[in-house]
């Protein structure tokens, strides 16, 4: 690091991040933006829970509640969970396969900025006449009837950020297929890389249906088409199908990387290799495959008919099998290991039973006949929060603690980390466990208040108290981060002491070229193998040579900004005279920057061999 970490002014750092194409810095951008949206979504959640704490509450109005609820779901899924996982993928996956960057660094930056501007656009709705209010699923009949521009913000914002996600997914796929270090065969890839791979393929196939359906909704709302307008011969059910053809794979896009993170954490702290590696890979691929054949389990009550319902019910239950394989593998990995109870391991061990409960209610919901009872009640709310919070959010929090040293070169405080964990764990179960029963007692989801005397009072209050605990846990986490950044105590390559995969063989944080020499991979858990043979680091697979690096560029930022501008134009085209010109100006900015990118030859630069050697010596002196 030494030569590259000089103190710089704020402006220079900002410019550096605006133009960066380095996967590690893009990861940090994803964490900052995703973390911001996570807090925003969390505040929305708190408003929901305060409103529902007591019957007949008027903390917020009915209309505003709908907006808050919609934005909570949309923000958490699209702008918090996915970007945070993308942060991990960017930060860790290239290091795990021994690559110097992703396959298309420029596209990587573009993906981030598209997500950022899409998310910003969506949230500007709060200040520009009201947020979307038709639920995160935005069912067409409801969203076409919604007045004002709320739904237009949803449509345009998600369209822009969806492009970014799709680009990110394709980029990861190409990286994993083409850029593995010598010896890194598919069946030696760490599980986090595998789950990134499968999740990216799901993105590749699931986002186009979303894009198409959002385009149709956009044309229905803004350009007078009638795809979903029944009165004009359209069909509103098509939206539901498209949305869930995307939506169910989407939940696996979220959970698979989370599985991957836990599959990295557990072997390190159990000091044992992952039990049943190949069955883990098989289960991951199978989940990805089956994930595409079950979407209609969200539509059992639509009236698809008994045959369709039966087929989708059975297919859905089948997914529980590979998921069960994974659960057992994690248990057997920890079993008999010399387990050290670090904060990440706390999250991992708490994840197993918590997620399992979500899986069990999932199978209950998959029973089509029974789902007529559960559907659109708090039972469903409990189910998906158990899988998403108990799975994805636990993975993000545990993974943050686990990979923080690799990303920033310092350690988050373990004691504060455990306080966060226990508060969050308790708050989570307090909030959502009781909601199973609320659902079974008949409390519908997506209602802004309830009446006294229906037996819902106490349970809702308990649920709100739980949510409060989770909020406190998040505050402790933020304090932990601030303290850690302030203290700035540097640590070495392998701070947990038992790192197994390639990322722990290089300095923390990784130098911007990652690997001075590409490492030779001799098996699963390559760094562990070398350590067991008494070596200090990896054996290089190539002589020291010049390294080719891409140049930074502001173009991804400008390209995305253009779409952001034109989205305003599309939306206000009919309201104001300036709409159309703004639409055109935005597109000119985007396509102009694409043209500039295509015409200008950018060959990148080389880090010379001598500089790499210098870097080594300097460190030698300092150490």
Partner 1 sequence: MVNTQTNSGNPETDLKYRRKKNAEEMRHQVISFALMIVFTLIAFLAVGYEGFSAWFAVPFILVLAVVQVGFQLYYFMHMSHKGHEAPALFMYSGVLVAFLTIICFLTIIWW
Stretch of 291-299, 459-467, 483-491, 563-571 contacting partner 1, by CB under 8 A: 291-299
Q: Which of residues 373-392 bind ligand HEM (CB under 6 A)?
A: 374-375, 380, 383-384, 387-388, 391-392
Nearer to partner 1, 16 or 542 (CB): 542
CB 508 within 8 A of CB 24: no
- Least spacing, CB of residue 31 vs ligand HEM, in Å: 20
Residues in the chain: 623
The count of residues interacting with Cu ion (CB under 5 A) is 1
Q: Which residues lie below 8 Å from residue 251, measured CB to CB, with a gap of 6+?
A: 384, 387, 388
> How many Cβ atoms sit within 10 Å of the Cβ of residue 619?
14
- Least spacing, CB of residue 178 vs partner 1, in Å: 7
**What does 316 bind: Cu ion, ligand HEM, partner 1, none (CB cut-off 5 to 8 Å by kind)?**
ligand HEM
375 lies in the site for Cu ion, by CB under 5 A: no
Q: How far is CA 516 from the centre of its chain?
A: 30
Strands 547-549 and 605-607: antiparallel
Stretch of 38-46, 78-86, 302-310, 404-412 contacting partner 1, by CB under 8 A: 302-310
Nearer to partner 1, 228 or 378 (CB): 228
What's the per-residue H, E or C state across 212-234?
HHHHHHHHHHHCCCCCCCHHHCC
Q: Rule CB under 8 A: choose which of 9, 11, 233, 305 binds partner 1.
A: 305
302 CB-contact burial (10 Å; exposed 0-12 / middle 13-18 / buried 19+): middle
362 lies in the site for ligand HEM, by CB under 6 A: yes
304 lies in the site for partner 1, by CB under 8 A: yes
> What does the CA dihedral 77, 80, 81, 84 come to, rounded to 10 degrees?
160
Q: Rule CB under 8 A: choose which of 14, 62, 177, 360 binds partner 1.
A: 177
Nearer to Cu ion, 23 or 248 (CB): 248
- Least spacing, CB of residue 175 vs partner 1, in Å: 12
> How many Cβ atoms sit within 10 Å of the Cβ of residue 13?
11
Stretch of 246-254, 264-272, 459-467, 561-569 contacting Cu ion, by CB under 5 A: 246-254
Nearer to ligand HEM, 393 or 571 (CB): 393
Q: Which residues lie below 8 Å from residue 187, measured CB to CB, with a gap of 6+?
A: 277, 278, 281, 524
The count of residues interacting with ligand HEM (CB under 6 A) is 25
**What does 305 bind: ligand HEM, Cu ion, partner 1, none (CB cut-off 5 to 8 Å by kind)?**
partner 1
Q: Which residues lie below 8 Å from residue 510, measured CB to CB, with a gap of 6+?
A: 24, 95, 406, 503
The residues that bridge with 607 in the sheet, in sequence order, are 547
205 lies in the site for partner 1, by CB under 8 A: yes
Whole-number Å distance between alpha carbons of 259 and 248: 17
Q: Which residues lie below 8 Å from residue 129, measured CB to CB, with a gap of 6+?
A: 148, 149, 150
For the chain, the helix, strand and coil percentages under 3-state DSSP, each to the nearest 5: 70, 0, 30
- Least spacing, CB of residue 513 vs partner 1, in Å: 19
Among 285, 93, 307, residue whose Cα is nearest residue 202? 285
182 lies in the site for partner 1, by CB under 8 A: yes
Among 530, 474, 524, residue whose Cα is nearest residue 506? 530
Whole-number Å distance between alpha carbons of 562 and 56: 45
Question: Hey, what are 561's tokens?
Answer: 């900004």
Question: Hey, what are 525's tokens?
Answer: 């858990």
Nearer to partner 1, 311 or 588 (CB): 311
3-state secondary structure of 425: helix
Whole-number Å distance between alpha carbons of 473 and 427: 8
Q: Which of residues 302-321 bind ligand HEM (CB under 6 A)?
A: 316, 319-320
Whole-number Å distance between alpha carbons of 22 and 109: 8
Nearer to ligand HEM, 355 or 408 (CB): 355
The contact mask relative to ligand HEM for 168-207 (x = CB under 6 A, - = no) is ----------------------------------------
- Least spacing, CB of residue 542 vs partner 1, in Å: 11
Whole-number Å distance between alpha carbons of 312 and 167: 30
359 lies in the site for ligand HEM, by CB under 6 A: yes
248 lies in the site for Cu ion, by CB under 5 A: yes
**What does 543 bind: Cu ion, partner 1, ligand HEM, none (CB cut-off 5 to 8 Å by kind)?**
none
Whole-number Å distance between alpha carbons of 351 and 392: 9
Q: Rule CB under 8 A: choose which of 91, 296, 397, 481 binds partner 1.
A: 296
- Least spacing, CB of residue 69 vs ligand HEM, in Å: 11
Nearer to ligand HEM, 239 or 568 (CB): 239
- Least spacing, CB of residue 407 vs ligand HEM, in Å: 24
Is-cis flag, bond preceding 509, omega within 30?
yes
Nearer to ligand HEM, 391 or 509 (CB): 391
Whole-number Å distance between alpha carbons of 435 and 453: 17
Q: Using CB under 8 A as the criterion, which residues of the chain lie in contact with partner 1 when the complex forms?
A: 173, 177-178, 182, 201, 204-205, 209, 235, 237-238, 241, 245, 292-293, 296, 304-305, 308
Q: Using CB under 6 A as the criterion, which residues of the chain lie in contact with ligand HEM when the complex forms?
A: 137, 251, 254-255, 297-298, 316, 319-320, 323, 359, 362-363, 365-366, 371, 374-375, 380, 383-384, 387-388, 391-392
Q: Using CB under 5 A as the criterion, which residues of the chain lie in contact with Cu ion when the complex forms?
A: 248
């Amino acid at each position: 690091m030494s030569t590259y970490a000089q103190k710089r002014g704020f402006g220079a750092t900002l410019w550096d991040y605006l133009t960066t194409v380095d996967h590690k810095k893009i990861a940090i951008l994803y964490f900052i933006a995703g973390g911001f949206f996570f807090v925003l979504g969390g505040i929305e959640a708190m408003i929901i829970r305060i409103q529902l704490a007591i019957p007949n509450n008027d903390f917020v109005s009915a209309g505003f509640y709908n907006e808050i609820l919609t934005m909570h779901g949309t923000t958490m899924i699209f702008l918090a969970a996915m970007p945070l996982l993308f942060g991990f993928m960017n930060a860790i996956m290239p290091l795990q396969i021994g690559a110097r960057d992703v396959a298309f660094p420029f596209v990587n930056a573009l993906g981030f900025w598209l997500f950022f501007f899409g998310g910003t656009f969506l949230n500007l709705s709060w200040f520009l006449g009201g947020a979307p209010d038709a639920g995160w699923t935005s069912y067409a009949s409801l969203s076409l009837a919604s007045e004002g521009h709320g739904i237009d913000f949803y449509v345009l914002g998600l369209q822009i950020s969806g492009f970014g996600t799709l680009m990110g997914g394709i980029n990861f796929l190409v990286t994993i297929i083409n850029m593995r270090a010598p010896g890194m065969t598919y069946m030696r890839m760490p599980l986090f890389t595998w789950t990134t791979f499968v999740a990216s393929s799901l993105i590749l196939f699931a986002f186009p249906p979303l894009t198409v359906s959002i385009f149709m909704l956009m044309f229905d709302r803004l350009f007078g088409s009638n795809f979903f307008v029944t009165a004009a011969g359209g069909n509103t059910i098509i939206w539901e199908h498209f949305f869930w053809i995307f939506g169910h794979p989407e939940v696996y896009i979220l959970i698979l990387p989370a599985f991957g993170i836990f599959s990295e954490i557990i072997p390190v702290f159990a000091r044992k290799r992952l039990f049943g590696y190949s069955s883990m890979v098989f289960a991951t691929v199978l989940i990805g495959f089956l994930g595409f054949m079950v979407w209609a389990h969200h539509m059992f009550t639509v009236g698809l008919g008994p045959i369709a319902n039966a087929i989708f019910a059975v297919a859905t239950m089948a997914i529980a099998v590979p998921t069960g394989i994974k659960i057992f593998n994690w248990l057997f990995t920890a079993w008999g290991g010399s387990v050290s109870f670090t904060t990440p391991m706390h999250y991992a061990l708490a994840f197993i039973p918590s997620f399992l409960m979500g899986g069990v209610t999932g199978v209950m919901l998959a029973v089509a006949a029974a789902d007529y009872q559960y559907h659109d009640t708090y039972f469903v709310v409990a189910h998906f929060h158990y899988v998403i919070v108990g799975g994805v959010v636990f993975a993000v929090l545990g993974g943050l603690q686990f990979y923080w040293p690799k990303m920033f070169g310092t350690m988050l405080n373990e004691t504060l980390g455990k306080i966060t964990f226990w508060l969050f764990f308790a708050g989570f179960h307090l909030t959502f466990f009781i909601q199973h029963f609320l659902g079974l007692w008949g409390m519908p989801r997506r209602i802004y208040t309830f009446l006294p005397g229906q037996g819902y009072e106490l349970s809702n209050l308990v649920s709100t108290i739980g949510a409060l605990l989770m909020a406190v846990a998040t505050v402790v986490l933020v304090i932990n981060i601030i303290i850690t950044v302030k203290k700035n105590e540097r640590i070495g390559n392998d701070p947990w002491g038992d790192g197994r995969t390639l990322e722990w063989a290089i300095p923390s944080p990784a130098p911007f070229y990652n690997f001075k020499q590409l490492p030779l991979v001799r098996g699963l858990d390559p760094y562990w193998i070398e350590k067991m043979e008494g070596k200090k680091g990896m054996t290089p697979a190539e002589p020291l040579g010049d390294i080719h690096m891409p140049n930074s560029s502001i173009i991804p930022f400008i390209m995305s900004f253009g779409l952001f501008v034109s989205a305003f134009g599309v939306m206000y085209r009919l309201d104001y005279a300036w709409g159309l010109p703004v639409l055109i100006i935005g597109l000119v900015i985007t396509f102009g920057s694409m043209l500039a990118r295509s015409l200008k030859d950018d060959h990148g630069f080389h880090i010379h061999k001598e500089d790499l050697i210098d870097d080594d010596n300097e460190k030698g002196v300092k150490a």
